[in-house]
Amino acid sequence: MKKILTFAAVAFVTVQSMAQVQQGLVKTIGRPNKPGVVLADVMIRVRGLVNSVISSPDGSFRVSAPNKKDGDDIVIISVQKRGYELKDKELIGRKLVFSSQVPIEMVMIDLRQLAADKERIEKKAYEVAEKNYQKKKEEIENQIKNNEISAENYRQQLQTLQANYEKYISLIGDMAERYARTDYDKLDSIDYKINLCIENGELDKADSLIHTVFDPETVLERNRSAKAEIQQRIAFAQSVIDKANADKEAIKRDKEYAERIIQLCDRLYKEYLIVEDYQKAIDCLNKSLEIKTIIYGKENEKTKETINKIDSLKNNSL
């Protein structure tokens, strides 16, 4: 009997330990015809823990946090490896959802590769700019030489040509920086087209695509990798919320637990908005509303605020 109890106790401790481990993976960005690779020996520090964790040869890492539960916050305060930098610098200090099921993926950039890519794309862009400038200038000069345009028109065309050339040159540094930092492994089709334009030195075309389709500050960051991460967070958060909603008595007994689930609902609601799934966003707010009604009451301001959000979202999605 004692052996059975000991085995059960060990099994329980093992399950508890598994539930208190956040797993993750570190990789490099992918380039054209050169997929990203896993990255070892990356030092990762998490708020509240004294020691750093280090990624293994397969790029994986494990953060043991005895006081964490699924759905709690986890904050990464440092990710370091000599010669590399984190692609998403906003990851540092951001509140992430602690999960024993969904790993955190970190993408890093080789600084030598970054410099080489920027130099290559800038050189290509300057070559294209100079070639196009000289070609267009020769066409204008031939027109004035053959009396096809007036002297005034000639000056106007030269001024326009110079202005366009200077605009193109001004784009090179920014475009090269964006291109060099883009993870090619999981780009959306539109982002891939933009990057090919940059790769070919067609910066005017790339700039046009960016401004007509997306916000120029975020276009090259909107890739499938980010969307896949959102979907993973959604799936995990949804499972936690569903479990909590099924246990109404636990919500009534433990207000702190209930408020943590409300926070998770609110985060999940925002994730659904990002992927434009408005019905699920509404469903998530309804779950939050149900919990708020239980612990705060129908007339509470927090409860009313959620009702207003639901009504507003319903009207906007019609």
CB-neighbour burial class of residue 242 (10 A; exposed 0-12, middle 13-18, buried 19+): exposed
Q: What are phi and psi of 20, to 5 degrees?
A: -110, 20
Please say if the pLDDT value at position 37 is more than 80: yes
Decide: pTM greater than 0.75.
no
Mean pLDDT across the chain = 78
Among 8, 32, 5, 308, which Cα is nearest to 180's? 32
Of how many residues is the chain composed?
318
Domain of residue 166: give its range.
113-203
Q: Are residues 233 and 309 in the same domain?
A: yes
Please say if the pLDDT value at position 244 is more than 70: no
**Separation CA 107–CA 112 (nearest Å):** 16
Classify residue 177: in a domain, yes or no: yes
Q: Are residues 58 and 140 in the same domain?
A: no
CA distances from 127 to 54, 118, 276 (A): 43, 14, 41
Q: Are residues 24 and 118 in the same domain?
A: no
Q: Residue 263 contacts by C-beta under 8 Å, 6 or more apart in sequence?
A: none
| pLDDT mean over 241-249 | 63
Classify residue 294: in a domain, yes or no: yes
Contact 101, 70 (CB under 8 A): yes
pLDDT (0 to 100) of residue 218: 41
Lowest mean pLDDT among 17-26, 156-165, 188-197: 188-197
Q: Are residues 65 and 148 in the same domain?
A: no
Q: Are residues 300 and 235 in the same domain?
A: yes
Give the count of domains, the chain.
3
Structure token pair of residue 58? 């397969």
Q: What is the CATH number of the domain that holds 36?
A: 2.60.40.10
Residue 195: which pLDDT band, with cuts at 50, 70 and 90?
confident
Q: Are residues 231 and 197 in the same domain?
A: no
**Separation CA 15–CA 9 (nearest Å):** 10
**Separation CA 174–CA 207 (nearest Å):** 10
Classify residue 212: in a domain, yes or no: no
Q: Are residues 53 and 81 in the same domain?
A: yes
Q: What is the CATH number of the domain that holds 305?
A: 1.25.40
Question: 91-130 pLDDT, tens per residue?
Answer: 898 888 788 877 889 999 999 999 998 898 888 888 888 8
Among 258, 231, 260, 233, which Cα is nearest to 247's? 258
* pLDDT top residue among 204 and 28: 28
Classify residue 211: in a domain, yes or no: no
Question: 151-172 pLDDT, tens per residue?
Answer: 999 999 999 989 888 888 887 8
Domain end point (choices 90, 111, 132): 111
Q: Are residues 82 and 11 in the same domain?
A: yes
Domain end point (choices 86, 111, 136): 111
Classify residue 297: in a domain, yes or no: yes
Q: Are residues 286 and 306 in the same domain?
A: yes
Please say if the pLDDT value at position 217 is more than 50: no
Q: Are residues 107 and 143 in the same domain?
A: no
Classify residue 135: in a domain, yes or no: yes
Classify residue 301: in a domain, yes or no: yes
Question: 256-312 pLDDT, tens per residue?
Answer: 767 777 877 877 787 777 767 788 888 888 888 888 888 888 888 989 999 988 888
* pLDDT top residue among 17 and 56: 56
Q: Are residues 56 and 117 in the same domain?
A: no
Name residue 152's amino acid: E
Classify residue 100: in a domain, yes or no: yes
